[in-house]
Amino acid sequence: MLKLVLNLFEGEKTYLFWAGLIILSLASLLLFAMIWSLRYYSLQTSSYLVNNFPQFLGAAVFILIGLYMMKSGVKKEKSLTQS
């Protein structure tokens, strides 16, 4: 699995890749912080989830956008094959 992910990002990294990496890391940090703060709302978990649903959804969407930007920001090296 890890080899598949590493092959996905193999090649020359462009500015789009690095911008996607920053977006991915910030969205992941936000999502982790919201999940971590769930332990302080043990009595009101359902109201916390309902009130923070837009933030959870936004973080998930930005994670997907960051991954897509990282995938698009890698220039694959063309192999020269002779026939």
- This prediction's pTM: 0.78
The average pLDDT across 2-31 equals 86
Q: With 0-12 CB in 10 A as exposed, 13-18 as middle and 19+ as buried, what is 70? A: buried
Sequence ranges of the domains in the chain: 27-72
pLDDT digits (tens, 9 = 90+) for 8-19: 778 888 999 999
> What integer pLDDT is reported at residue 78 of this predicted model?
73
The average pLDDT across 1-29 equals 85
CA distance 74 to 10: 7
pLDDT digits (tens, 9 = 90+) for 45-69: 788 888 889 999 999 999 999 999 9
